[in-house]
Amino acid sequence: MTADVEVLGVSHRFGEVAALRDVTLSIGAGRFAVLLGPSGCGKTTLLSVIGGFLFPSAGRVRIAGRDVTGLPAARRPTTTVFQDYALFPHMRLGANVAFGLRMRRVPRAEREARAEAMLRLVGLEGMAAKMPHELSGGQRQRVALARALAVEPEVLLLDEPLGALDLKLRRQMQDELKAIQRRVGTTFVHVTHDQEEAMAIADEIVVMNAGRVMDQGPPERVYLRPRSRFSAAFMGEANFVPVRLRREGDGIAILGPFGTHPLPAERLADPAATGGRAELAFRPEHVNLGDAPPGTLDLGEGTVRDIAFSGSHRRARIALDALDGGEIVAYLPQAMEVSATARLRLHLDPARAILLPAEDGESRCGG
Amino acid sequence: MAAVRAARRQRLRGFAFVLPALLWTAAFFLLPFAFMVAMSLWRRVGGRILESWTLENYADFFGRPHFLEGLANSLEITLTVTVISVLFAYPLAWIIAEKVPERWQRAALMLAVLPFWTSYVVRSYAWLLVLAHDGVVNRALLAVGLVEAPLVLASTRTATVIGFVHFFVMLLTLTIYANLRQLSPNYARAAADLGAGPVRIFLHVILPLTLPGVMVGAFLTFVLAIGDYVTPQILGGNNELVLPQIIMLQIGRRADLPSASAMAIVLMAVVTLVYFACARWLRLERA
Amino acid sequence: MRRLADGLALGYVVAVYAFIYLPVAVLVLFSFQESRLPIPPFDGPSLRWYAAVFADRRLTDALANSLLVALLSSALAALLGFLAAYGLARYRLPASGLQRALLTAPLSVSYLIIGLGLLIMFSRLGVPRSLLTVGIGHTVINLPLCFAITYSQMGAHQENVERAARDLGAREWQVMLLVTAPMLLPAILAGFLLSVTFSWDEFIIAFLLSRFDVTLPVEIWSLLRSGLNPRNNAVGSVVFLFSFALVLVMELLLFRRGRRR
């Protein structure tokens, strides 16, 4: 059972606070979508609107093409895995998982068999007679998942389901969640503020901030070609340098601290904005060392301000001469030992550069 | 709008759950109170109740030394009891919370408050046994030669105070213990870390942090003690009457409900005044 | 130094415990007195006063009355309190602060005043005093308790559990019957049992509102007029035993379970 989800122009206010502002997005059937953003960005509100726990001030929600905006949670083809799991504390695991089937008047024998199958799916085989308080956090999380999946929803909503688990268990549960989603084929909509988690499990990431969708797409696209400064900064680290744009033949040229440099037009996040101010963004791992070969973007020389060993790489803050001492972050190879005052020469593959429309307010470097 | 109608239907349904309790409280708490207020403004004249409005019952109360003395007795006894009870209960609660090993704390607390659950009529009677002319206290005092003749303990204000203190030490131990346990041990650790000794930790950290809870318990003690009839009647006897005893006399012997009502309202007013006087220490309502 | 402080603490605890248990010990000890006065020296043990208590029809009737009133009034208080707590915790109602204040108001008024008000109202309305009126009074004082205890347990987590039930297709009555009530059963039971002990012990309201059939504390009260008497000790000990058993049940049933979670 699976279905697509469409959210059309949804806005929601809590008193004076606008939690969602004109949100439109669509999630394909059978996809694993992740709503990603900082706390208070509206992602949980959006999940509640899809699940039928909140009725939006404006806009429509469609599931499998059917308008469900006014339907309560019970009459939607969705179920929710709550952040605190919300297991029924007085029922055994079997009864917890079978609850939805009981509400649908499935005969006892059938629902017990089905509950056992669901517990097996989440790796809790033979534990149907246990009580929720006998379980660990990770196990409760699995029960909540089994309970929500037992009624075969078309869309499963997960509200920060891994938030209460410690890091190691969280990474392990991510893999399991993804495997289970592949197995059942249900559309999953999962809320988190952890971008690593989002990239690990999502087919599709929806980046949200301040009640708006800032970006939506597959993890790779959202990471490598973010469409807004916010999503570039939220999905991992990025450096931002203000530049000006000029149309030049088929492509464009950037004018800025690093001189004038031609770039292919597809590097623009917003193809319409080919004139005026923009921001050049690049990831720390895309900064290369040494003299700039022809065709690359020369960042010039800089002084290492600070360097820290991060396991897979060394994270360096480097003050660039071209930025009058403004700092960027670069990931240097693990094997390279650099002292804290070393001078380095840096360049950038233009294929890795991102051009974002300039946002109002100060443009800062780094971060 | 469908949404507005749905919201109203939701509200009505929610209200339906609350309504029985509200009606019950209105019918058997608010309405009787209204009856009592009305009654306090009537007069009992010649064995009948005269239903014409007057403040004479109140004038009577404040005009007669006998009644005012009752109020004064009530206040004195209640304040004494409150202070002594807090002074006894705090160390006990503190020792249970701090010195008793974790696994025995609950048992120690249970043990400390078990007689709390005995009927209060029975409890007062038991104190009467203890304090009687030939009771165990006098026998013990005589035996060790502390006194030459038995002390008069029963039917005195002291007996009333002892009976009350017994009850409220238990109540306050419960509330103060709960308060102490709520404190994170890190407060004391932080203070010790910054160089405070045990005495200063207690005076500057633990005591101020538990004071609001102590105040709530003390206020509860005050309210319960000042309204109680049984303990002063059994243990204090008929010597220095407190207000509830005088009220019961009006109801029973004199069948003067108007005057009893007026006194009951004065009693309520006193409690309310005390409440407002210490309201800033009593954080009864949580924000 | 430290040992001295611990010794002082121990001495203090022993002294206070002795103070707390002195009356109970004397009460129970002299209930086994052989002679007619419950004062030293102790000349028992004898069960004659217990026999006298259980042979006294008025006392056993009063005991039955007390149980009846306590159980029924507490059940009603628990039911009304649970419903009100559910309504106020789960729905956004107008003036909900005022409603909560009204429901808990009887907690801050002394029993004497509540009893007097009811006495006046019932006598003006011509309602005869009986166990029924006593039960009404006890429900008035216990309803706030049951309401407050249940209400305090209806947190956001419990609300999420109810949402989960709704999400899985439960109707409102199913949510309440299958999820909310069982989930809050410890709180509801705690309110109920606490109410039973309060009603069982309550004197002044029962005294003012009863007439021919009386509850146990009222019957004991009239016995006390006879002064010190081992039979009173025996009654008191029985009452104490009952309250003790009730508290023990509460502890084992509710708090033990609560701790395991």
Please report, to the nearest 10 degrees, the dihedral formed by the alpha carbons of residues A196, A202, A203, A206 taken in order.
-90
Residues A15 and A48 both lie in one domain: yes
- The Cα A310–Cα A124 span in angstroms is 36
Q: Which residue has the higher pLDDT, B65 or B278?
A: B65
**pLDDT given at position A367:** 36
Q: Does residue C126 fall inside a structural domain? A: yes
Task: Note the pLDDT tens digit of each residue in A212-260.
Answer: 999 999 999 999 999 888 999 998 899 999 888 887 777 788 888 888 8
Question: With a threshold of 0.90, does the pTM exceed it?
Answer: no
Residue A7 pLDDT greater than 90, yes or no: yes
Least confident of A35-39, B250-254, C170-174: B250-254
- The Cα B215–Cα B194 span in angstroms is 28
Q: Does residue A332 fall inside a structural domain? A: yes
Q: Most C CBs within 10 Å: which of A50, A79, A103, as the mutation test of the C interface? A: A103
Q: Where does the pLDDT of residue B3 fall: very low under 50, low under 70, confident under 90, or very high at 90 and above?
A: low
**pLDDT given at position B76:** 93
Least confident of A27-36, A262-271, B31-40: A262-271
Residues A223 and A78 both lie in one domain: yes
Beta-carbon contacts of residue A243 (< 8 Å; ≥ 6 apart): A254, A255, A256, A257, A277, A278, A279, A280, A355
Contact in structure between A36 and A198 (CB atoms under 8 Å): yes
The burial of C205, by beta-carbon neighbours within 10 Å (0-12 exposed, 13-18 middle, 19 or more buried), is given as buried
Q: Does residue A363 fall inside a structural domain? A: no
- What domain range includes position C107? 58-260
Task: Note the pLDDT tens digit of each residue in C135-152.
Answer: 999 999 999 999 998 998
Task: Note the pLDDT tens digit of each residue in A297-316.
Answer: 888 899 999 999 988 899 99
Mean pLDDT score across all residues of chain A? 88
Other residues' Cβ atoms within 10 Å of the Cβ of residue B210: 23
**pLDDT given at position A271:** 55
Contact C164 A74 (CB under 8 A): no
Average pLDDT over residues C55-69: 90
- The Cα B244–Cα C119 span in angstroms is 16
State the CATH class of domain B72-286. mainly alpha
State the total domains in chain C: 1
Q: Does residue C46 fall inside a structural domain? A: no
B29 touches chain C (CB under 8 A): yes
Residues A19 and A157 both lie in one domain: yes
Q: Does residue C53 fall inside a structural domain? A: no
Contact C80 B115 (CB under 8 A): no
For a pLDDT cut of 70, what percent of chain A falls above it? Answer: 96
Contact in structure between B140 and C26 (CB atoms under 8 Å): no
**pLDDT given at position C255:** 62
**pLDDT given at position C159:** 87
Task: Note the pLDDT tens digit of each residue in B158-186.
Answer: 899 999 999 999 889 988 888 888 887 77
The burial of A152, by beta-carbon neighbours within 10 Å (0-12 exposed, 13-18 middle, 19 or more buried), is given as middle
Q: Does residue A16 fall inside a structural domain? A: yes
Residues A264 and A159 both lie in one domain: no
Q: Which residue has the higher pLDDT, A367 or C57?
A: C57
- Partners of C169 on chain A (C-beta within 8 Å) are 74, 100, 103-104, 151
Q: Where does the pLDDT of residue B50 fall: very low under 50, low under 70, confident under 90, or very high at 90 and above?
A: confident
Nearest-neighbour CA in chain C from B2: distance (Å): 18
Residues A77 and A222 both lie in one domain: yes
The burial of A19, by beta-carbon neighbours within 10 Å (0-12 exposed, 13-18 middle, 19 or more buried), is given as buried
- Partners of B264 on chain C (C-beta within 8 Å) are 112-113, 116-117
Residue B279 pLDDT greater than 80, yes or no: no
Residues A215 and A263 both lie in one domain: no
- Grouping H, G, I as helix, E, B as strand and the rest as coil, residue C102 is helix
Q: Quote the DSSP letter at residue A87.
A: -
- The Cα B269–Cα B274 span in angstroms is 9
Q: Does residue C34 fall inside a structural domain? A: no
CATH classification at residue C247: 1.10.3720.10
Residues A216 and A314 both lie in one domain: no
Q: Does residue A365 fall inside a structural domain? A: no
- What domain range includes position A137? 5-230
Residues A226 and A245 both lie in one domain: no
The pairing of strands A204-209 and A32-36 is parallel
Please report, to the nearest 10 degrees, the dihedral formed by the alpha carbons of residues C249, C254, C260, C261 taken in order.
170
**pLDDT given at position B24:** 95
* Residue among A51, A82, A91 minimizing CB distance to C160: A82
Beta strands in chain A (DSSP E): 5-14, 17-27, 32-36, 58-63, 66-67, 78-81, 155-159, 187-192, 204-209, 212-217, 239-248, 251-256, 259-263, 276-282, 287-289, 297-309, 313-320, 327-333, 343-348, 354-357
State the total domains in chain A: 2
Beta-carbon contacts of residue A322 (< 8 Å; ≥ 6 apart): A257, A258, A299, A300
**B67: enclosing H helix or E strand:** helix B65-98
Domain boundary pick from A230, A247, A272: A230
Q: Which residue has the higher pLDDT, B46 or B172?
A: B172
Residues A52 and A167 both lie in one domain: yes
- Grouping H, G, I as helix, E, B as strand and the rest as coil, residue C36 is coil
- The Cα C106–Cα B229 span in angstroms is 18
